């Protein structure tokens, strides 16, 4: 058999019992020596210098764990507050270096009716912490008979991520909206927690900020806010190769969240191209009239 050929037992007589001397030797009666690994060093039960051992242990455990390979990815997620609640938007492209791993990834994840998280970073880490956060919030509601506030949810997630900061995870989340009023938080994988009116995260966020910074205001109505969020994601995907495909939009109010239909950004590209051609034709007509 193949296993016998590899291990060198192909010529071993099989008629002997397993516990006879002949079965424990090879062809020439030479005993078979099996390798049993021995520990390099033993850990003593007592240590005279406790302080030194504890300090060295804490130093070794606090070293960051690096990935054995580079993990390149990108995304565009954004959220902002206005008089009608909170708008959250994100693209749907999940990339790994130069490969589009999934064109329909879900980057806005509902926790409950009044809490959403937008994720940016490693997809596996984001999904894991989304499930952990949903579990802890549900357990809190069952134990105390009331739902954890958005501020408390952001603080809970921040404390959980702080313990695992040495694992070098790439994770960013933004819990949004509350019954007491719209709230927006930015939580990073190192435990950083910020509250604000506008956040955009991901490789396409600089391009999204270029659209949002001058247009976001409290007096926006629902249609204006939705159109602005869609435009910001579109501009980011137009310039950022790691963002693209479709755009997801969520509107969160005191009654809960409402998800808009997923829109393919290729249609927006075609509409933008038609607008550019139309403006070019109008400009050409004006120049002809001026020359005449």
| Catalytic positions, written as ranges | 75
Q: What H or E segment, with its residue span, contains residue 91?
A: strand 85-91
Q: How far is CA 107 from the centre of its chain?
A: 8
SS3 content of the chain, % helix, strand, coil (to 5): 40, 20, 40
Pinpoint the alpha helices (H) of the chain. 2-7, 50-61, 123-144, 150-163, 205-212, 222-239, 265-291
What are the tokens at 173?
């989340």
Handedness of CA 125, 128, 133, 134 (dihedral sign): positive
Q: What H or E segment, with its residue span, contains residue 251?
A: strand 246-253
Q: How far apart are CA 186 and CA 189, in angstroms?
A: 10
């Amino acid at each position: 058999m193949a296993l016998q050929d590899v291990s060198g037992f192909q010529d071993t007589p099989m008629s002997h019992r397993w516990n006879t001397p002949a079965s424990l030797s090879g062809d020439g009666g030479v005993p078979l020596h099996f390798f049993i690994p021995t520990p390099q060093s033993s850990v003593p039960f007592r240590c005279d210098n406790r302080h030194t051992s504890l300090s060295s242990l804490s130093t070794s455990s606090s070293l960051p764990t690096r990935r054995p390979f580079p993990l390149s990815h990108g995304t565009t997620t954004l959220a902002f507050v206005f008089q009608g609640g909170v708008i959250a938007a994100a693209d749907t492209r999940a990339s790994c270096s130069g490969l589009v791993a999934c064109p329909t990834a879900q980057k806005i994840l509902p926790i409950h009716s009044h809490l959403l998280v937008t994720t940016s970073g490693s997809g596996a880490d984001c999904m894991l912490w989304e499930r952990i956060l949903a579990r802890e919030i549900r357990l809190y509601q069952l134990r105390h008979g009331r739902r954890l506030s958005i501020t408390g949810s952001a603080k809970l997630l921040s404390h959980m991520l702080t313990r695992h900061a040495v694992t070098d995870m790439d994770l960013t989340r933004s819990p949004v909206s509350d019954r007491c009023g719209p709230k927006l938080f930015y939580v990073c994988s190192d435990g950083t927690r910020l509250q604000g009116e506008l956040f955009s995260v991901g490789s396409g966020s600089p391009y999204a900020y270029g659209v949002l910074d001058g247009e976001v205001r409290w007096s926006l109505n629902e249609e204006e806010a939705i159109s602005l969020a869609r435009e910001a994601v579109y501009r980011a995907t137009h310039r950022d190769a790691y963002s693209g495909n479709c755009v997801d939009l969520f509107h969160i109010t005191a009654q809960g969240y409402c998800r808009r239909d997923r829109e393919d950004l290729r249609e927006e590209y075609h509409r933008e191209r038609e607008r550019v051609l139309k403006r070019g034709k109008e400009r050409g007509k004006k120049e002809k009239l001026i020359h005449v």
